[in-house]
Amino acid sequence: MKAEAKLEVIRGLLKYEGRAEEIKGNDILLIVCLLIHGGDEQPVRMSNSTLGMELGCTEPTLGASADRLVSAGWLTFTSGKSRKQPSVYTVMIDKLPIADDLKRTIISPAMTTLAVQYSLVTSVSMTGKKRRFKKQHLQRMAFTLQTFLEKHCDGDEGLLRGAVNFALLHPRHRVKANRGPHELRRVFRKLLVEFKNAGRPAAEPAKPATTEPQDPNIHPWDTPPLPSRDGLPVYKIQNVAVAGLDAFREALNSADSIRASENCTLFIVHPDGTRIEQRVSVTRFGSLWSVVDVKTGKGALSPMVPKVAA
């Protein structure tokens, strides 16, 4: 976070308006101390004794402040396994009682969405291990992407997205890119030059017009699919309809007819005919298609199916 924005955040914290009654002065001082240490952009690793000395308070007082802030959603905290191991603190900017326009200045909604898409594409490590991204990890990713956008891309979101895709697919950069955007900080300037010189995909040649007959069983984009007889829910987006979530994910990433779209319908039809419709954004990200809920900005393809309205 830039110094000017950090000062505005601290000023907002010192105002009483919007602050929960259970938040005390010691709690505000702890948040300010962590912001000074960069706790908004990356985790702060510090022992309770060291942090207590900086704040001029005892360790029990520090622990009570951390508990209140975690309950309020202002802070994530992981305690060290012993006195010799540091605790890990991350300040959650989106939960602080500061103006919404200031939050959008610190991390734009576009970079928040891009961080979610990045996490979906890198949910499996290069060694095949599944990864779980918590909200503090997503905030760190969004901060890094915001820095790339402002410092190297002059606010061009398309350029940033293209460079990230290039890194995820390039043999020399994909290992670091899979670990997270923070691993690309030292090489991003050179990576961006590589992408500008050779990373933009060449325009596909125009396909000759064909007179092949259209399959009458292919549903239009906005038409829900028929229920499955196999006892599995049917997932459909655009012209891809498959029974079973895992099979649908596999078919989606291998489909050649999917188009990028900022607003299309994801259908989920259960065997009993119950139907769910969700507006989603479909974007090619790395080698995979990213499907994100338009309203929440979160991944839409998860085992947790939204409740059906009565």
- pLDDT, tens digit, for every residue of 7-53? 888 887 877 666 677 888 889 999 999 999 988 888 899 888 888 89
Token pair for residue 176? 């670091």
Residue 211 lies in a domain: no
Please answer whether residues 196 and 158 qualify as being in contact, where contact means their C-beta atoms are separated by less than 8 angstroms: no
Residue 212 lies in a domain: no
Cβ count within 10 A of residue 31: 23
Quote the CA–CA distance of 6 and 101 in Å, as a whole number.
14
Based on the structure, what is the number of domains in the chain? 3
User: Mean pLDDT in the chain?
Assistant: 82
Q: How many residues does the chain have?
A: 310
Q: In 3D, which of 100, 98, 91 has the Cα closest to residue 73?
A: 91
Please answer whether residues 221 and 264 qualify as being in contact, where contact means their C-beta atoms are separated by less than 8 angstroms: yes
Range of the domain at 275: 218-310
- The sign of the CA dihedral 138, 143, 149, 155 is positive
What is the per-residue pLDDT for 84? 65
Quote the CA–CA distance of 30 and 65 in Å, as a whole number.
8
Residue 213 lies in a domain: no
In the chain, the percentage of residues whose pLDDT exceeds 70 is 86
Do 171 and 146 lie in one domain? The reply is yes
Residue 204 lies in a domain: no
Q: Which of 55-64, 158-167, 251-260 has the lowest mean pLDDT?
A: 251-260
Please answer whether residues 299 and 254 qualify as being in contact, where contact means their C-beta atoms are separated by less than 8 angstroms: no
What is the per-residue pLDDT for 196? 87
Instruction: Please provide residue 288's backbone torsions phi and psi, each rounded to the nearest 5 degrees.
Output: -120, 165
Tell me the average pLDDT across 110-138. 88
Please answer whether residues 264 and 290 qualify as being in contact, where contact means their C-beta atoms are separated by less than 8 angstroms: no
Tell me the average pLDDT across 177-182. 91
Residue 78 lies in a domain: yes
Single residue among 100, 123, 150 that ends a domain in this structure: 100
Residue 210 lies in a domain: no
Single residue among 62, 78, 100 that ends a domain in this structure: 100
Banded pLDDT at 190 (limits 50, 70, 90): very high
Summarised one tens digit per residue, pLDDT across range 66-116 is 999 999 889 998 887 666 678 899 998 888 887 777 777 788 888 999 999
Do 74 and 111 lie in one domain? The reply is no
Do 242 and 164 lie in one domain? The reply is no
Cα-only R_g, the chain: 23
Residue 209 lies in a domain: no
Whether residue 309 has pLDDT greater than 50: no
Token pair for residue 66? 């951390």
DSSP-based three-state secondary structure for 78: strand
Q: What is the dihedral of CA 82, 54, 142, 154, to 10 degrees?
A: -150
Do 8 and 81 lie in one domain? The reply is yes
Summarised one tens digit per residue, pLDDT across range 207-256 is 555 544 544 444 467 788 888 888 888 888 888 888 888 888 888 888 77
